[in-house]
Amino acid sequence: MKIIIVQDRLRSGGTERQSIFLAQAFAAAGHEATLLTFRPGGTLADSVSTGVRHKVLQPVDLGLDWFAPGLLPTLRELAPDVVLCMGRMANCYGGALQRHLPATAMIATMRTGKALPWLFRRSLATVRHIVANSRDASDTLVRTYGVDRSRISVIHNSLVFPPPTSVDRDLTVRAQFGADVNTHVLLCVAMFRPEKNQRELVEIVRGLPAHPPWQLWLAGDGPARAACEQWVAKHDLGARVKFPGFQRDPRPLYQAADYAVHASSSEALSNFLIEAQAYGLPVVAYDAQGIAECFIPDRTGWVIPRGEHDAFRAALTRLMATSPAGRATLAQEASAFARHTFDPQRQCAAYLSLFQTQLA
């Protein structure tokens, strides 16, 4: 098959990582895969392997996520069997592309907890099929946007950074941030956007008891980072809250941390949480679309209603009080669940099977 994945830009988000992963997985499976982006550059632009053709529409970066000059002529020239739209901007074009390219299987994706713009909603009625990356996202399509469930397939995100067979805690990375073997390390890996709520996460953990000792690591970059750092400095939390920055490969942080924490208000399925589970990190997270599908609720992760700071801290306090043997059992169960549920080969095969069905 000739498969094109459309994405506006290769910034450092989870959808962009999934786009690159899927393009490379399709190519490895013997298909002709092209990653088509509107804008050049981006943090992850150099992560595209040589086995995948990367084509860019804007000759120079105009800073416009929505501007896709020559999109339709380019697709006509490339003559794909399947076009997979990833991200909000790409999905806004999906419906019009399907009308102009009726023989192509135009596949939309639902990967966000945000309200969908009008063009996105219009595309949902026209594209050949829709992939939701969580059961919650599928339910939202049916309940909120009136999509027939028969036109939706649920395919979870893939583990972009699958763990080794055995995961041992990395004390070297902990030492870089002043955390020793007795420090409880809470990890959040996410772009610093307002909806990711890193500052609220700091406010939550600020209320934890001083003992046992703990640290919060907020890995990532983005427009909301500077304000969060300033808030941490203003409240003299620099010894407790660390900013490792953007991580092209976050595996060392997963191997060094003890727990995964997330306060995002808008998700579909968190790449960070499924990766953290695969590395054996129990999760405490605010409720959002798809969050409860990232772990086994009340066994390897705990869903907290939004704004319930005391409940969030109580869950963390219980985890910190768990014996080493108990934490090891939790880690094994979390890892086994994530490795199976989000197995990369399994998700890639699900996409390819769907494509074949739609083409038939």
Tell me the mean pLDDT in the region 151-170: 87
Q: pLDDT-based confidence at 221, cuts 50/70/90? A: very high
Residue 84 and residue 31 share a domain: yes
pLDDT of residue 51: 85
Tell me the mean pLDDT in the region 111-128: 94
Determine what percent of the chain is predicted with pLDDT higher than 90.
90
Give residue-wise pLDDT tens across range 61-112.
999 999 999 999 999 999 999 999 998 999 999 999 999 999 999 999 999 8
pLDDT above 90: residue 158? yes
pLDDT above 80: residue 168? no
Residue 347 and residue 331 share a domain: no
pLDDT of residue 162: 87
| Contacts for 5 with CB less than 8 Å, ≥ 6 apart | 19, 22, 23, 33, 34, 35, 36, 83, 84, 86
Tell me the mean pLDDT in the region 344-350: 96
Residue 52 and residue 184 share a domain: no
| Contacts for 147 with CB less than 8 Å, ≥ 6 apart | 124, 125, 130, 141
Residue 61 and residue 10 share a domain: yes
Instruction: Look at residue 112 and tell me if it is in a domain.
Output: yes
Q: 3-class DSSP state for residue 296? A: coil
Instruction: Look at residue 135 and tell me if it is in a domain.
Output: yes
77 burial type by CB count under 10 A (0-12 exposed, 13-18 middle, 19+ buried)? exposed
Tell me the mean pLDDT in the region 3-29: 95
The CATH number of whichever domain residue 255 belongs to comes to 3.40.50.2000
Instruction: Look at residue 79 and tell me if it is in a domain.
Output: yes
Residue position matching structure tokens 């469930």 = 149
The DSSP call for residue 176 is H
Determine what percent of the chain is predicted with pLDDT higher than 70.
100
Q: pLDDT-based confidence at 265, cuts 50/70/90? A: confident
Residue position matching structure tokens 């990232």 = 294
- Give the predicted TM-score (pTM) of the model: 0.92
CA distances from 84 to 19, 78, 196 (A): 9, 14, 26
Instruction: Look at residue 166 and tell me if it is in a domain.
Output: no
* Full residue range of the structural domain in which residue 246 is found: 171-341
Q: CA-based angle 333:334:338, to the nearest 5?
A: 120
Q: What is the mean pLDDT of the chain?
A: 95
Residue 148 and residue 115 share a domain: yes
CB 261 within 8 A of CB 285: yes
Residue 206 and residue 69 share a domain: no
Cis previous bond, 213, omega within 30: no
